[in-house]
């Protein structure tokens, strides 16, 4: 009995060690080589359900009413069904309201972990149309930077943070998304209190598809892998250290280039997208952008020849500094 008991203890300890290592992505990172990104990409993003971004009052013959508020619908709710029929567009919701004739309709919403069925009675506006008093969002588009591409599968990650609704700040649930080519049109320099922006326009060429939107970035598959990029090793959170590093980003249509930065204030237990501070020291980059600007999110960070992370956010009051995410956090989310 003693020997069996001891074997069980040893097995349990080994299992805990394996789980701990897996949770921090150590084995995955140490055995992975990827192509660093730095190139811009465009996103056409369609949500899984319809986001409630605002609620308004409707003026009708009986006075001012708010059908959505009376029904108990909240900003940030995700409408998934109307009268038990799945909806994926704002138009589908609006059409159901317009055709209701003022009769109550059942709105199914996702609110956090809850699924709620709410009864909404549309109001007749002065123009004769029935309305719910809802501002809805079902798609978005934008520009970001690729962090890495798996040379064997074409799988990629970018942004280093999720795509969120601009009104509610909520992470958008992905129904489907396309990766598009981008042409850089110009740069708005960052100033204290006024973040800069990489201005680009989405092209007509589809480069791949999105498969996931998470708090640590967006993920998908490229239909082709850019040539001339050599795969490099992944650096773990323990490899990353305070000191000099480089970021790769694209500021014009001449391609990706490396720029000097300093890494400080490392939070090694960080699980989100703000794990350390990135300070831009490169004079050429500071002259062009003022530091970190919107559109640079996802720019890979290289230190000691390894991919250790990505740029995620700018500090609004100091555009020369921003946050970075451990590459391990992105790899874990990628699966």
C-alpha to C-alpha distance for 214 and 305, rounded to whole angstroms: 27
- Note whether 201 and 185 are within 8 A (CB): yes
> Active site includes 282?
yes
DSSP 220: E
Structure-token pair, residue 320 = 């020369």
**Residues 162, 166, 167, 173, CA torsion sign:** negative
> Active site includes 313?
no
140, 155, 302 from 172: Cα distances, Å: 9, 21, 29
123, 202, 329 from 25: Cα distances, Å: 53, 34, 8
Taking the C-alpha atoms of 183, 189, 192 and 197 in order, what is their torsion angle to the nearest 10 degrees?
-10
**Among 319, 283, 278, 320, which residue's Cα sits nearest to residue 298?**
278
> Active site includes 214?
no
> Exposure string (b/e) for 250-287, b if CB count within 10 Å is 16 or more?
bbeeeebbebebebeebeeebeebbbbbbbbebeebbe
List 161, 214, 299, 313, catalytic entry: 161
- Note whether 176 and 210 are within 8 A (CB): yes
List 53, 94, 297, 299, catalytic entry: 297
List 239, 260, 272, 282, catalytic entry: 282
Q: Which residues are catalytic?
A: 161, 282, 297
């Amino acid at each position: 009995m003693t020997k069996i008991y001891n074997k069980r203890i040893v097995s349990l300890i080994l299992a805990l060690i394996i789980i701990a290592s897996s949770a921090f992505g150590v084995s995955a990172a140490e055995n992975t080589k990827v192509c660093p990104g730095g190139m811009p990409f465009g996103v056409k993003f369609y949500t899984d359900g319809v986001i409630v971004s605002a609620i308004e009052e409707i003026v009708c013959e009986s006075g001012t009413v708010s059908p959505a508020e009376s029904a108990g619908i909240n900003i940030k709710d995700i409408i998934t069904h109307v009268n038990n029929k799945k909806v994926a567009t704002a138009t589908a919701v609006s059409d159901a309201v317009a055709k209701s004739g003022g009769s109550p309709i059942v709105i199914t919403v996702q609110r956090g972990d809850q699924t709620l069925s709410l009864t909404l009675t549309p109001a007749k506006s002065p123009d004769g149309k029935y309305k719910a008093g809802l501002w809805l969002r079902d798609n978005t588009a934008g520009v970001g930077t690729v962090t890495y591409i798996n040379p064997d599968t074409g799988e990629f990650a970018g942004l280093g943070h999720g795509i969120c609704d601009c009104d509610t700040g909520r992470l958008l649930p992905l129904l489907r998304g396309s990766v598009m080519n981008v042409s850089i049109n110009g740069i708005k320099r960052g100033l204290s209190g006024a973040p800069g922006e990489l201005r680009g326009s989405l092209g007509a060429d589809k480069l791949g598809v999105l498969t996931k939107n998470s708090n640590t970035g967006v993920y998908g598959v490229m239909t082709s892998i850019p040539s001339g990029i050599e795969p490099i090793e992944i650096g773990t959170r323990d490899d990353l250290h305070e000191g000099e590093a480089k970021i790769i980003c694209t500021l014009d249509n001449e391609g990706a280039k490396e720029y000097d930065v300093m890494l400080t204030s490392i939070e090694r237990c960080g699980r989100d997208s703000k794990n350390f501070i990135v300070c831009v020291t490169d004079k050429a980059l500071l002259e062009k952008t003022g530091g970190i600007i919107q559109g640079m999110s996802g720019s890979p960070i290289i230190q000691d020849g390894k991919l250790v992370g990505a740029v995620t956010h700018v500090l609004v009051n100091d555009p020369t500094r921003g946050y970075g995410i451990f590459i391990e956090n992105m790899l874990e989310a990628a699966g």
